Homo-oligomer: A and B are copies of this chain.
């Protein structure tokens, strides 16, 4: 039971140790970057998926599933797209004992699998909008160092693909996706920024890309999702056209919205602390753990009452684990803190006698709750825990940014930097060199902290077109 590495000074080591301790993945699979979802990790993932499904279906999107294998011929149709991906895809070249006539790509993302079929589904303006999503695994042949949830070779992936009648409707869909993610982020208790990526860093084939970024200490950021407006960029090569009400043939405008298991990584990275993982209630595999504390003179009362408490909360719809293993109470507390359970309820001799439980949430706040009735007390404690967790994350979020007034301030940045930028690519690259990272782009929303009016571009000194942009080091 060694201490975890220090989160502030040794973030990556701390992250790897927390992932290990939280029992959510097993990295010992014989291929690097292909990890095993353990029962505990799968439970968290299922909860995460449920939030995504709930919020996207509330916007009228329907689940579909397209094949994982894409013929090389379809994959190559959009030129920017193939250029962006061909160095990192897995190729299936053999079926059984013979070579395939047309090699297949294991989907790195599904545009090229879906759009040939969209061309068949969309005929008339009455078929629009077409909003569908799938939750599947995608595959990328990563050559950089892999990290559980953050950079893996088989990626648990959510992707919405839509067809709209025109550019304006597509822009409206982008807005609707942003609102859906805002609701998801509340369930995850994750503050984030929606950032419009610069031209040179947008999704291959996109008209523009909005990234959903999370700061994770020092100047590091984690892109946990993205929303893209494709205009007609894919509709043209794939022939996705419809007949308008007036009889004209038009290309659809498309959008996509992607999220991935990086969200699990972000939840671990943002909420975790020196005691281990911390799951927000909506994602926690177990929302509540009940621990009986045996005592010499208590007989089986603690076990009995603990079992009653667990059963009542289960009936109330909570995910509950009753830890009746033969480990010592201290070891149990330690384990359920490491694995991030939001609320621990202890039942000892005194609690059993008084029909109460001792409650400790994962932020360490203690209270005594009556068993009769217990249900709404637990609801309240969990709601308070989520609020406090979100507030803690928001404080760290606000502290993760600072303004840089000159290029000289950028090297060695320990926060994500706000810089005045004229919009020019050359100036952008100078900023990237200075911070040894990326110009993340321009924020889509007002920032959650006060900012002066923007001044002159940090690089060229022009004021024309200057706007606040963010620079950091994406993981």
Q: A154 touching B67 by the CB < 8 A rule?
A: yes
Q: How many copies does the complex hold?
A: 2
Q: How many Å lie between the Cα of A39 and that of B31 in the bound state?
A: 34
Decide if A42 touches B29 in the complex (CB within 8 Å).
Answer: no
Query: When the two chains form their complex, are residues B96 and A88 in contact, meaning their CB atoms are under 8 A apart?
Result: yes
Q: A26-B117, A68-B137 are in contact. Are A62 and B36 (CB under 8 A)?
A: no
Q: How far is the CB of A427 from chain B (nearest CB, A)?
A: 32
Interface of chain A, main secondary structure = mixed
**What's the Cα separation between A63 and B37 when bound, in Å?**
9
Which B residues lie within 8 Å of A113 (CB)?
29
A157 CB, nearest partner CB in chain B, Å: 13
User: What per-residue 1/0 map shows which CB atoms of A131-142 lie under 8 Å from chain B?
Assistant: 010000101010
Give the docked Cα–Cα distance between A302 and B175 (Å): 35
Q: Mark A103-124, 1 if CB is under 8 A from B, else 0.
A: 0101000000100110011000
Q: Indicate if the CB atoms of A31 and B91 lie closer than 8 Å.
A: no
Interface check A334, CB cutoff 8 A: no
A389 to B34 alpha-carbon distance, docked (Å): 45
Q: Is the CB of A116 within 8 A of B42?
A: no
**Are the CB atoms of B117 and A29 closer together than 8 Å?**
yes
Say if the beta carbon of A1 comes within 8 Å of chain B: no
A333 is an interface residue with CB less than 8 A from chain B:
no
A464 CB within 8 Å of chain B: no
A298 interface residue, CB < 8 Å from B?
no
Least CB separation from A121: chain B residue: B26
B96 touching A86, Cβ below 8 Å: yes
Set B42, B74, B141: member contacting A96, Cβ < 8 A: B141
The smallest beta-carbon distance between A204 and chain B, in angstroms, is: 15
A-B contact pairs, 11 of them (CB 8 A): A35-B67, A36-B65, A87-B97, A88-B96, A90-B94, A90-B95, A90-B104, A91-B92, A92-B93, A95-B141, A96-B141
